[in-house]
């Protein structure tokens, strides 16, 4: 697992690569929370186009960030999950809390419009 | 006596072994030539069960996790066994969104994922004696070419 | 008590499990971030030892093969254990080109490869009680980045 | 593991892909011996450019074919092994019995010249 944090149009984009499980979710959580605390971002976008595996630890990660971000009036979006990961997300009811987009571009456009 | 095709893996419950465990079961399951979707169902379910043993069964200590898999015809059965604290109320534990450790950012979706992605899930648990999760998955038979595809596993 | 990083795998000695066994040890060894050459040395040596258990220890029946691996610092130790017929004369068995089964087109190079590709090889064998091969490999320390490279293993 | 048998300029070329161990060496042996029995080939070439793994079972396979082929005055050649497989071949002393070439083209040219 690897990940990168990118500021994009005032939002924080988190690109995650490889396999996301409980062991690695912790790493991502710490880094995202630290960056988010700078209070310079509007929304948070998880970009999963290069994620190859994810179990429910990813759900916990997204839900946990949803709490912090929505407290400040921001939104959380997910983009580009491959089919197997999309099924985990759908099952979890996460889509009641956040939107899912095809790719980063769509996510950035739609978040601005809303 | 005919010997079944099986594997039994024993590992200490370090969280970095979650990926090793699911990769090993996936490499074993490869001989059934599952579809990509079936393979990812198995990996995800195994990851949930092994993660539960690592974080719930043993909490702060490192205990041993056993993973058994065997194949009969086109069916793979996977057992994940721990000797940890056990589950008091299995029915409640299996409810979607129930987690005893929200502070670890667990979503409570582990059992729900196992049940959705596998064809059968059975839980045996005794307080203080540990937990056994038995999961069964039937692999579709399309595309079978005997042994050929197994080489592609590694 | 500190628990070592280890794995223990049990499989029936079907020849198709030779590739599964070496792939599993390779996936475990990946956390040491070995070079491609070190990784292929380990895979080849494990393949030799497991093949010997499959064809020599148990001959026509299917016996059980145990593969244990553990890591200490930058050293991996692999043990391949069978409960088969044992080796009568270990010194002769380890000679290059010696094979008891030329009719199976064995080259007699198994032990020679294990000894060349690993840093230490020990053989314990009792007639009728089985054989244990213990092999040690030191991994070079260049290129270490902590845990990072482990994710690339699967 | 997969393999293909190709007649090339009166020689039999055996291309082996993937991982060659004791389980699969047997398969290759049977197919090569059957084809060789047609008695229409001069030499036998093992093409290993796409082989990813080989243990001493490969050595046994090559040595066994050496016997059959040299009885009829033919030669056995190996071409294109990746470095890790080349080390297994060198260790085995096989190069006293057969030559190793960079690729199929070189093998075919040199075998014709000799
Ligand atoms: N192997 C286990 N040992 C002890 N308790 C467990 C085990 N597996 C699950 N549990 C209990 O069942 C609950 C629900 O599990 P699960 O659905 O996987 O969700 P989560 O892991 O997100 O909490 C856990 O929170 C835990 O209390
Ligand atoms: N696990 C084992 N059990 C019984 N005999 C063995 C075992 N491993 C090796 N041997 C004996 O040692 C000999 C040499 O082994 P090796 O160097 O690997 O060559 P090969 O496998 O090609 O015969 C074998 O032919 C066999 O007689």
Verify whether residue B52 is a known catalytic residue. Answer: yes
For the CA of B58, the nearest ligand:
1
User: Whole-model pTM above 0.90?
Assistant: yes
- CA C71 to CA C50: how far, in whole Å? 20
- Residue C138 is encoded by which pair of tokens? 């030191």
- The phi, psi pair for D4, rounded to 5°, reads -135, 145
Q: Specify the pLDDT at position B152.
A: 35
Three-class SS state of A106:
helix
Q: Which of B106-115, B136-145, D39-48 has the lowest mean pLDDT?
A: B136-145
pLDDT exceeds cutoff 80 at C8: yes
Chain A contact for C151 (CB, 8 A cutoff): yes
pLDDT exceeds cutoff 60 at C149: no
Q: Specify the pLDDT at position D35.
A: 97
Q: Between chain A and chain D, are at least 3 CB pairs below 8 A?
A: no
Q: Is B113 in the pocket of ligand 1 (CB under 6 A)?
A: no
Shortest-distance atom of ligand 2 to CA C106: 22
Q: Specify the pLDDT at position B151.
A: 34
Q: Which of B73-82, B103-112, B134-143, C91-100 has the lowest mean pLDDT?
A: B134-143
Average pLDDT over chain C reads 91
Q: Specify the pLDDT at position B59.
A: 85
Catalytic residue, from C17, C22, C52, C79: name it.
Answer: C52
More confident site: B137 or B143:
B137
Task: Report chain B residues whose CB lies below 8 A from the CB of C31.
Answer: 16, 20
Whether residue B86 contacts residue B128, with contact meaning beta carbons closer than 8 Å, is answered with yes
Is C148's CB within 8 Å of A19's CB? no
Distance from CA of D17 to the nearest CA of B (A): 10
What mean pLDDT do residues C94-112 have? Answer: 96
What mean pLDDT do residues A21-39 have? Answer: 96
Q: Specify the pLDDT at position A72.
A: 87
Which residues, listed in sequence order, are joined to residue A15 by a DSSP beta bridge? A4, A47
Q: pLDDT tens for residues A46-78?
A: 999 999 999 999 999 999 999 999 998 999 999
Whether residue A26 contacts residue A58, with contact meaning beta carbons closer than 8 Å, is answered with no
Confidence of residue A114 (pLDDT cuts 50, 70, 90): low
Task: Report chain C residues whose CB lies below 8 A from the CB of D91.
Answer: 109, 112-113, 116
Is B109's CB within 8 Å of A21's CB? no
Task: Report chain D residues whose CB lies below 8 A from the CB of C59.
Answer: none
Q: Specify the pLDDT at position B18.
A: 97
Q: Specify the pLDDT at position D114.
A: 58
Q: Specify the pLDDT at position C151.
A: 34
Whether residue C149 contacts residue B15, with contact meaning beta carbons closer than 8 Å, is answered with no
pLDDT exceeds cutoff 50 at C148: no
Which residue is associated with the tokens 């898999």? B69
Chain A contact for B100 (CB, 8 A cutoff): no
> A22 CA to middle of ligand 1, Å?
13
- CA C133 to CA C65: how far, in whole Å? 11
Contact partners of C by the rule of 3+ C-beta pairs under 8 A?
Answer: A, B, D
CA separation, residue C123 to residues B62, C56, C59, C87 (Å): 31, 14, 19, 9
Catalytic residue, from B106, B115, B124, B134: name it.
Answer: B106
Chain A contact for C152 (CB, 8 A cutoff): yes
Q: Specify the pLDDT at position B60.
A: 87
Question: In chain C, whose CA is at the least distance from the CA of B8?
Answer: C10
- Residue C22 is encoded by which pair of tokens? 């070496």
CB atoms within 10 A of CB B36: 10
pLDDT exceeds cutoff 50 at C154: no
Q: pLDDT tens for residues C12-51?
A: 999 999 999 999 999 999 999 999 999 999 999 999 999 9
Q: Specify the pLDDT at position B146.
A: 46
Verify whether residue B129 is a known catalytic residue. Answer: no
Size of interface C-D (CB pairs under 8 A): 65
Q: Specify the pLDDT at position C142.
A: 67
Q: pLDDT tens for residues D32-57?
A: 999 999 999 999 999 999 999 999 99
Within chain A, where are the H helices? 22-36, 56-71, 83-91, 104-113
Distance from CA of C2 to the nearest CA of D (A): 36
- Residue B30 is encoded by which pair of tokens? 């490869």
Three-class SS state of A51:
strand
- CA D70 to CA D91: how far, in whole Å? 22
In chain B, % of residues over pLDDT 90: 85
Size of interface A-B (CB pairs under 8 A): 65
Chain B contact for D18 (CB, 8 A cutoff): yes
Q: Specify the pLDDT at position C141.
A: 81
What mean pLDDT do residues A32-50 have? Answer: 97
Can you list the positions of beta strands (E) in chain D?
A: 2-8, 11-20, 44-47, 51-54, 76-79, 99-101
- CA D77 to CA D91: how far, in whole Å? 16
Verify whether residue C52 is a known catalytic residue. Answer: yes
- The phi, psi pair for C6, rounded to 5°, reads -140, 170
Q: pLDDT tens for residues D5-19?
A: 999 999 999 999 999
Chain C contact for A18 (CB, 8 A cutoff): yes
Q: Specify the pLDDT at position B144.
A: 52
Q: pLDDT tens for residues B12-70?
A: 999 999 999 999 999 999 999 999 999 999 999 999 999 999 999 998 899 999 999 99
> Which of C52, C64, C88, C101 best tests ligand 2's pocket when mutated (most atoms within 8 Å of CB)?
C52
- The phi, psi pair for C88, rounded to 5°, reads -70, -50
Q: Is B82 in the pocket of ligand 1 (CB under 6 A)?
A: yes
Per-residue three-class SS string for chain C: CCCCEEEEEEEECCCCHHHHHHHHHHHHHHHHCCCHHHHHHHHHHHHHHHHHHHHHHCCCCCCEEEEEEEEECCEEEEEEEECCCCCCCHHHHHCCCCCCCHHHCCCCCHHHHHHHHCCEEEEEEECCCEEEEEEEEECCCCCCCCCHHHHHHC
Question: In chain C, whose CA is at the least distance from the CA of B69?
Answer: C11
Distance from CA of B151 to the nearest CA of D (A): 5
Classify burial at D105, counting beta carbons within 10 Å of its beta carbon; exposed 0-12, middle 13-18, buried 19 or more. Answer: exposed
What mean pLDDT do residues A17-29 have? Answer: 97
Q: Is A56 in the pocket of ligand 1 (CB under 6 A)?
A: yes
In chain A, % of residues over pLDDT 70: 98
Q: Specify the pLDDT at position B143.
A: 55
Task: Report chain A residues whose CB lies below 8 A from the CB of B109.
Answer: 56, 59, 91-92
Q: How many residues does chain B have?
A: 154
Q: pLDDT tens for residues A2-19?
A: 999 999 999 999 999 999
- CA D80 to CA D75: how far, in whole Å? 17
Distance from CA of C10 to the nearest CA of A (A): 26
User: Of B4, B10, B19, which has the smallest distance from its Cβ to C154's Cβ?
Assistant: B19
Q: Is B47 in the pocket of ligand 1 (CB under 6 A)?
A: no
pLDDT exceeds cutoff 60 at B148: no
Q: To the nearest 10°, the Cα dihedral for B59, B61, B62, B67? A: -30
Q: pLDDT tens for residues D54-105?
A: 999 999 999 999 999 999 899 999 999 999 999 999 999 999 999 999 999 9
């Amino acid at each position: 697992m690897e990940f990168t944090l990118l500021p994009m149009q005032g939002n924080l984009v988190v690109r995650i690569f490889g396999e996301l499980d409980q062991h690695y979710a912790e790493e991502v959580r710490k880094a995202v929370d630290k960056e988010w605390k700078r209070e310079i971002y509007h929304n948070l976008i998880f970009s999963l186009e290069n994620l190859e595996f994810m179990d429910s630890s990813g759900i916990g990660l997204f839900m946990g960030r949803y709490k912090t971000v929505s407290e400040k009036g921001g939104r959380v979006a997910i983009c580009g999950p491959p089919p197997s990961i999309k099924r985990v997300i759908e099952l979890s009811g996460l889509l009641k809390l956040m939107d899912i987009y095809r790719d980063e571009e769509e996510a950035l456009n739609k978040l601005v419009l809303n | 006596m005919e010997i079944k095709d099986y594997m039994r893996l024993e590992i200490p419950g370090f969280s970095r072994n979650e990926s090793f465990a699911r990769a090993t079961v996936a490499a074993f399951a490869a001989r059934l030539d599952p579809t990509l979707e079936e393979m990812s169902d198995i990996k995800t379910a195994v990851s949930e069960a092994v993660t539960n043993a690592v974080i719930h069964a043993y909490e702060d200590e490192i205990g041993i996790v056993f993973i058994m898999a065997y194949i009969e015809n086109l069916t793979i059965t996977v057992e994940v066994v721990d000797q940890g604290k056990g589950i008091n109320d299995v029915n409640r534990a299996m409810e979607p969104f129930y987690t005893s450790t929200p502070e670890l950012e667990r979503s409570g979706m582990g059992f729900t994922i196992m049940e959705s992605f596998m064809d059968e899930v059975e839980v045996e648990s005794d307080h203080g004696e540990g937990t056994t999760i038995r999961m069964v998955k039937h692999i579709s038979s399309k595309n079978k070419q005997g042994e050929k595809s197994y080489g592609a596993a590694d």
